A = this chain, B = another copy of it.
Amino acid sequence: MSIENDIKQKTFRNPYQKMAINLVYTSNWLLYRQSELFKEYDLTLQQYNVLRILRGQQGRPIRVSDISERMLDKSSNTSRLVDKLLLKNYAERSLCANDRRAVDVIITKQGMEVLEQIDPRVEEWENKLNVITEEQALMLSDMLDLLRESVQE
């Protein structure tokens, strides 16, 4: 359904506004569907995001501040997210050897296992997005990069 119907707004100030609104709306839509999936595994979206970052390390530990940098939602409180993962035995924490301010985090076997359970479900979900071609998807991604670049901080 078109964004006009979804939010019952017939006109937009300009194409850029329409696009921006659709972008936020679609992101919320996507996050909501995916959250439902993660909820089955008692994970929040942010916890899942951290877990995936941990797995991406392939055995190497990663410090809390580096996790924060890689989060999609930069405002997350990574300390507390890691706390939650520790409670579930999905992650382990240890002091960083060469910088005692920092804390190294690593995924556990159980953390890997829960991700492996979720993987096919996420993949299945992502595959539904192939109403657009792979080329279009990459083009869309490139356009998003451009948009962010254009607004200097």
Contact = CB atoms under 8 A, between A and B. Distances in A.
When all copies of this chain in the complex are counted, the total is 2
Dominant secondary structure at the A interface: helix
Nearest to A126: B16
Interface in A65-119: 69-75
B147 A16 contact: no
B148 A125 contact: no
A41 interface: no
Q: Looking at chain A, what size class is its interface with the partner chain?
A: 35 or more
A140 B140 contact: yes
Contact of A18 (B6, B20, B23, B137): B137
B141 A18 contact: yes
